[in-house]
Amino acid sequence: MGVPCRTNTLRTLGLRVALIVIIVDIAKGSVAVLIARAISGEAYVQMVAGLAAVAGHVWPVYVGFRGGRGVSAAYGSMLAMDPLASLALIPIAVAVVVITRYMSLMSVGMSAVAATVFLALAVADVHPYAYGVFAVITAALIIVLHHDNIRRLLSGSERKIGQKEQIEEPKRAEEGM
């Protein structure tokens, strides 16, 4: 079994512990990028450090390469890369969660929004292209890692925040009958 994601932490251990987990996960990405920036001012070095933090979060050696889905570590990396753009995404993310109560929808949707914003800012020469590349790579990874959540969202069986029981997925008709 992998490290519990923040949503499972919220469900099983409560809000206080979930907030600690998310802060530590965000810090993991931010610290990696900030250390890379201190060592080398090159944006691509910072991008690689952020990707390493996300990869370490998703495939941690200490728990058999079964970790989280990289959302918080990716956000932390983007926060260190471009704080204003990253902070501007928070109200949208909160609105998605408050309106839908689907944390997975926020994770998948906001990774795509962040990639679009970071790429647009790179094209507009507001920040380095490496930051846009980082956001696109991590968005693709986050979306792929959420394939089971996407399937449940589409079938209407994804659990909402605060929902105690799993919704049964619609049964498929047996083929050949």
* 166 within a domain of the structure (yes/no): no
Range of the domain at 62: 6-155
Q: Which of 99, 95, 105, 115 is nearest to 154 (CA)?
A: 105
- The pLDDT of residue 4 is 40
* 33 within a domain of the structure (yes/no): yes
For 6, 29, 104, the CA distances from 161, given in Å and listed in that order, are 11, 25, 10
- The pLDDT of residue 2 is 36
* 172 within a domain of the structure (yes/no): no
Q: How far is CA 56 from the centre of its chain?
A: 13
The continuous run of DSSP H or E covering 20 comes out as helix 15-39
Determine the Cα–Cα distance for residues 25 and 22; give it in Å rounded to an integer.
5
* 174 within a domain of the structure (yes/no): no
- The pLDDT of residue 167 is 53
- The pLDDT of residue 66 is 84
3-state secondary structure 55-95: HHHHCCHHHCCCCCCCHHHHHHHHHHHCHHHHHHHHHHHHH
- The pLDDT of residue 1 is 30
- The pLDDT of residue 5 is 52
* 102 within a domain of the structure (yes/no): yes
pLDDT per residue as tens, the chain (177 positions): 333 455 566 666 667 887 888 899 999 999 999 999 999 999 999 999 999 999 999 999 988 888 889 999 999 999 999 999 999 999 999 999 999 999 999 999 999 999 999 999 999 999 999 999 999 999 999 999 999 999 999 999 999 987 776 555 555 444 444
Torsion angles phi and psi, residue 166, rounded to 5:
-75, 135
Question: Residues 131, 114: contact at Cβ < 8 Å?
Answer: no
- The pLDDT of residue 21 is 86
Residue that the structure tokens 């495939």 belong to: 59
* 93 within a domain of the structure (yes/no): yes
3-state secondary structure 94-132: HHHHHHHCCHHHHHHHHHHHHHHHHHHHHHCCCCCHHHH
Structure-block tokens of residue 38: 């201190």
Q: What is the tally of structural domains in the chain?
A: 1
Determine the Cα–Cα distance for residues 5 and 10; give it in Å rounded to an integer.
9
- The pLDDT of residue 64 is 86
* 175 within a domain of the structure (yes/no): no
* 168 within a domain of the structure (yes/no): no
